[in-house]
Structure 1
Amino acid sequence: MGRLDNEENIIKDMHEVTSDQIMLLPGSKFEKQLISAIMKEWPKWTANNGHACEPPDYFSRDHRLMFDVMRVNDSETSIITKRGKEVRDNPVLKREQNLAREVKNSFPNVSEDNIFVNAVPDGDYDKIHNYQNYYKHAQKVFSSHIKRIPRCRELHPGYKMGFLVMDETESYLQHSNIMDAMAPYDPNKVYKVLATPHLPFTDRRFMQCLFKSDLDFLIWFMPYKHNEKMKVQPPVLCFIDLTDDNVQEYLRNYPQYLMRRM
């Protein structure tokens, strides 16, 4: 079990984000209420994330809000076994688990919550980490949680429903040349890219299924996207009011074959 498998650690990390690293989209009154309720009044929330618990993962009777927590990465794919069965494959996760196990064996008294590993698996980096994997995994995760929304509504009528997305990816940038985007990354080469990095919550492809769902709000937590090489840094945390008609004005079509990790 990794540190982020414990959703309490995701919440803990989110609460360490400072106000200057938070974005509101589009900047509605409801989003300000969300920040107050989630970032400042967390004791009023109930954790409901045990394996045997009904959804959602967290709810607040005082604020009449609820949300599910999910994790998104860009390294998970599906492979077909020799027996013809489709299974998940994530070389990064496998490497992380092995490293965490080694640390645990060497330091048995250290809590798993205090073990941090940064795994770089063998193989083609761009083949393992890419925009297509990112998009497909996000859609798969979103779809599975959208199916839980009716039950959440049934258990907590009148509550506003949201998702907290723990985004474990680094930043993606839009290249101007498709050959640069497709070729192996060269650290000695100067690339022509857009100054503003990819923001998944403004990506129409990413967001389409969420707008079609019965969600009221979205919290996108992406703590690993900061990169000193970029002129424009993305926010660490974004609160999004999906019920505000103006929010869709911020959506854009990112050219998928020009997107690449920094």
Structure 2
Amino acid sequence: MELGYGFKSRYIDVNINAYRTQWDDRFISRTFNATAADVAKFSQLSLGNAYFYNALNVGQLHQGIELEAKARPLANLRLRGMVSLGNWKYKGNANFNILDVQNNQEITGATGTINIKDLKVGDAAQTTASIGADYNITKAFSIDANWEYYDKLYAQFNPINFLTEAAREKGIVKLPSYHLFDVGASYKFTLDAKKSLTLRANVYNLFNKYYISELSSNIFAGDKIANGPDAGKTYQEAGRVYQGVADGNTGFLGFGRTWSVAATLRF
């Protein structure tokens, strides 16, 4: 369900939208190599072999509100902004089975329930915002800038991590929020009445911000380290955190500063 309202005038356009989307039959699939802990839970597995969890009938509830605005306070200046506030959660628990990667056959008896009710849905920021501007210095030359903000971004997770209610209550690792700043410039050459050449340059993440864009594991800074010289200590106690996130996690960092140039010929 969606409900929206739009307003347009000579100087400003505003759109606001509220949404509620419910799924009852999504699925989660994760590949893994069986560890000793996995074999202890499911004796049908063989240590080191490749399997994947297959959880069916996974429910999700996404709801939120979005606001977008564009303004033209001057003939040569355009402003824009947006904010999106979401609340995305798993709806109820789900059952799963385990399949052998080699033959895609279900392992008899290797089934269970993942306790995911009310856990946050990961892999996408649930709060985002941006502010931007385009300014025409001359009729041919323009510059632009855009600031973006991302928050309430949660890790993905492996179903095996949530076989107990206690694990569910612990929740999902929340990634640190971050913001990015992009700039660009364009110059248009008029060749004749029908032809033009536009040169465009962009610099993305101008301030070379390093940020965590995605996690595929769910290790908290307060969790204990299992192996190595720091075994028995928490990641926080051992100083093994990056931006507040335990370094035992696997994931991806966002791009640093990048740039692009382009030429467009119209005829």
TM-score normalized by the length of structure 1? 0.28
Task: Indicate the structure whose relative CO is greater, using CA pairs within 8 Å and at least 6 residues apart.
Answer: 1
Structure with greater Cα Rg = 2
Task: Pick the structure with more strand per residue.
Answer: 2
TM-score normalized by the length of structure 2? 0.28
Task: Pick the structure with more helix per residue.
Answer: 1
